[in-house]
Structure 1
């Protein structure tokens, strides 16, 4: 037995269900005997019986913390909550106090809506068949007419065929999702301009809250701060800067930097000159007002 299997919490339960093997520790042995009636092993996979009788697949520590099953890692929970809130805003009243009563309607609309990413509905990817809408009972549809003419055995065979094709349908949806992500990435990368710098280059940085070495001086403050020198280069286009006094700043992404040129130096000098002229004019105005 490998070390990963020993650390897996499912392995002792599977050993007892399949081979009748119990651990040597008496407490551990009693604990497994007490928990085993709630589990079932089928095709080398452990399932747990829920309160409603549904079999739930048991996950290991690595699967439970991976992005596929742990939705908070890759943002799936946040993305779904955002979609759910948008649906609730369309069905709730102005007071928005009945949102809990409209939750089922919003979830129903989400499950039967055709998704562009997967080219399918969430319900069809979960159960292998589309939902029967109430409108289909009022207006005769071909799908319902075919199923009504089947006997029980034929209906069971049709349902089994749909379940067998479910894995293939999910793989196709995954392929469509990957293709859509590639297209989205290409359209985004067309607008991206890479800025590459070398160690020792003189650059300017965008005035952002991450640079707290200088205080803001009002609306005449230039948009770019500097000059700085590239001290170190990191991966993914990040750089570490140092100013004329030796103060280190960063790392900062290269999209917030631009190379220092003579034209930029002249523009910065004119900006500071305008600022000094404005301050002098403001001071003269205050002195004249006090004199009057």
Structure 2
């Protein structure tokens, strides 16, 4: 299974997308984005966490910086670029978030710099996803000793996912059920290199494959206020537990607890 380097001086580096999730009906904005959500959930679980991405020189960028600073996430390598911060329009229907228009803003031209790669090498775990614009840098990050975690969501055929899977130690995906198709997909991913493959299954819980062994964890039953960021929160909780040396079943449980907390609130965190 994936193991965490004992030579790194820092914990988890979440790299990639951020945005303000703008709830049109409520006229309310929340800091979010996959990498930001992972960073905050891992930090709340007790892990030391850094975030690298690009925000604009606007009020939305100020909001993201302020909220991450309040959560004690290291922003020493945050890129602040002239322009607009990413914005996602959101509707909540029966507690389930529905995405509308998305403006990528300055994240459209984001790429980790050489200095960012040096910074990554100081961390035990590097976490990113389809929207992070990091997939072409994963081989170098792994070469420097980081364990690479990557979220392909429900799009395993997307070009970024195809590129990333081969250079990933721990691959996350989202599916609807623990069925033959899900297990076949997870096995195909594992055959390409990742030593651990984890699928979040919504109400059906989560499933992991490592060393040919399957592990299932049921979901916690909670009153769902908003599903925004629940999968990202699962990843953050999982990685925080992994950083502490937990085995796969315990990591699944930690991710489940983290996701359950997120489901009970409006916004991702």
TM over 0.5: no
Bigger radius of gyration: 1
TM-score of the aligned structures, taking structure 1 as reference length: 0.18
Higher relative contact order (CA 8 A, sep 6+): 2
More strand by share: 2
More helix by share: 1
TM-score of the aligned structures, taking structure 2 as reference length: 0.19
